[in-house]
Amino acid sequence: MTYKELLRYLKRYFPVSMGALFAQGLTLVIGIPMMIDSYFEVLPVSERLRYSYFSVLVASFLIAHCNFMVVRGYLGWICIPVILMLLCLVGVLPTIVYRPHTVFYVSGILFPLLALLLLNSKRHREARNEWVKLREERQRIGRIIRTQRQKNRRQERL
């Protein structure tokens, strides 16, 4: 890939993939603490804060790992962020009963929907298909290199 092809590729696919990643992150940062504060009111504030912190931390690492695997060309990993976004959306919707702040409630609904929209967009699907092609190309090159090394080792033994 030449430098110009790389720039064209990044111009086309980088904004949508980063937008989806940031929307997923904001979903976790807003949704998980809102759900923990609403559903576990009986816990002391320090416990709720601890649970929120570690839940967001684990979910963020999971999202980052899944997106890394999708960028590496493994499409099956996209299911986990989609499921997490749906769980956050379904978890935040009933918190209206607990009267959360309006901005947080709307954000808790908006960001998972935005993340799901970006993950399902035509451009993100194109990017995923390109990533699969790149993975197949890397694997093909790796097979060629391995066979060359095996041939060289055989020749050295003789």
- pLDDT one-digit tens code per residue, 52-107: 999 999 999 999 999 999 999 999 999 999 999 999 999 999 999 999 999 999 99
pLDDT of residue 61: 97
pLDDT of residue 158: 73
pTM: 0.88
Q: Smallest Cα–Cα separation from 67: which of 19, 137, 34?
A: 19
Tell me the pLDDT band of 42, cut-offs 50, 70 and 90: very high
Q: At what angle do helices 79-92 and 102-119 cross, to 10 degrees?
A: 160
Q: Where exactly are the structural domains of the chain? A: 3-157
Q: Smallest Cα–Cα separation from 103: which of 114, 92, 115, 90?
A: 92
Residue 116's contacts (CB-CB under 8 Å, 6 or more residues apart) are 82, 85, 86, 89
- Residue 69: Cβ within 10 Å count: 16
Helices (H) and strands (E) in the chain, counts: 5, 0
Question: Is residue 13 scored above 90 in pLDDT?
Answer: yes
Q: In angstroms, rounded to a whole number, what is the distance separating the alpha carbons of residues 89 and 74?
A: 25
Single-letter amino acid code for the residue at 115 = A
| 68 backbone φψ class: left, alpha, beta (φ>0; ψ -120 to 50) | alpha
Q: Which residues of 32-59 are buried (b: 16+ CB within 10 A; e: fewer)?
A: bbbbbbbeeeeeeeeebeebbeebbeeb
pLDDT of residue 20: 96
Question: pLDDT tens digits for 141-151?
Answer: 999 999 999 99
